[in-house]
Amino acid sequence: MTGQSHTDTAHDAAGAAWIDRAEALADWLDAVPASAVLALDTEFMRRNTFFPQLALVQLGYHGRQALVDPLAFDAAPALERLQHHGVVVMHSAGEDLEALAPLLPEGPQVLFDTQIAAAFVGLGLGLSYGALVSALLGVQLDKSEARSDWLQRPLSAAQQSYAALDVRYLEPLHEALRERLQASEREAWHAEDCERLKARASQRAADLQPQRALRAAAGWNPERQALLRRLLNWREQRARSLNRPRPWLLEDTLALDLVQSPPRSPGELETRSRAQRALRAGERAELFALLAKPVSPEEVAATAPIPGYPQGPLKQALAAMKDYVDELAAELDIPPGLLCPRKALEEYVVTTRWPEQLTGWRQGQLEHGLSSLLP
């Protein structure tokens, strides 16, 4: 639906229901048929915690919006029904699903992500909700409350209206994008990517090989790489248990520096790590002990090598692969970044192992052509 552009303001969403009791949420959801398209969004905070702090859940159905206060009651029993609901439409759902994980561990039964759909139908990669509403519906949204404190209570009228608008247009967006996906025969690919997004958000286990992300250490010997893995795994465990951001305990640059040049005393470690806001005396003692402990052969064997940056023939192969991806993306009429992220190409050309993020429909489109370009 397109037409004359207008700005949606606080008055347009003033009728949203505020729900702070389990019975009221159950009643609201009882009025939504199981086969209906249900709009879903969240507001959360993640300034000084490891886990996102869920502050608000927004629901929309057939022109009605509800603002659910998860700070006031346990919303999990009522929201669990979304695991069996027909279609739940969200925009850029990854972080929202992560924030919802304590209440909805597996996510909705069927997810329709409008941002992913927009990329598949030629509207652009990573399009914001406001930009998509403007492009398809001709409505300009007021985004002035985007960086509000959503944990405060009571929420202001402007905050409540902003939150309600975040679900108001998801149903018409779903309708418009579903038609375009059908016309372009991209429904199956979109559904697969939505399932992948759900799986990634519900995967709460830590990465057991975090050192692979620090490619500056790719040239280190196996023992140093194993020690780096030990430190990063410790950081992950402590960050989760303390519910503090990883960098508050150990910045990546400091981790690299400590492994390359281990401190000779607890005092030296304290001096070098003073900027770490969550690194108290107990954690600092643990960290010093981890650095001082010799690396065992078993640790080395369990450490996956860190892939380096492509050089020489590998760099040339990467350039050829990038050209191939660009040409294929143009042929398929989808963004190259949606088809194959550059990071996945770099991983493949260095390790020759097919990247996990290129499985599914991408593997069918890409594997034959890319494998032929390996040196």
Residue 12 has pLDDT above 80, yes or no: no
Q: What is the pTM of this model?
A: 0.91
Asked whether the predicted pLDDT for residue 152 surpasses 70, the reply is yes
Residue 305: name the closest of 353, 252, 270 by CA. 353
Lowest-confidence pick of 6-15, 275-284, 360-369: 6-15
∠ CA 348-352-353, rounded to 5°? 80
pLDDT at 15: 81
Percent of the chain at pLDDT above 70? 96
- Mean pLDDT over residues 279-291, rounded? 97
User: CA separation (Å) from 80 to 24, 84, 107, 166?
Assistant: 15, 8, 9, 21
Q: Kindly report the average pLDDT of the chain as a whole number.
A: 94
Task: Give tens-digit pLDDT for 183-214.
Answer: 999 999 999 999 999 998 877 778 999 999 99
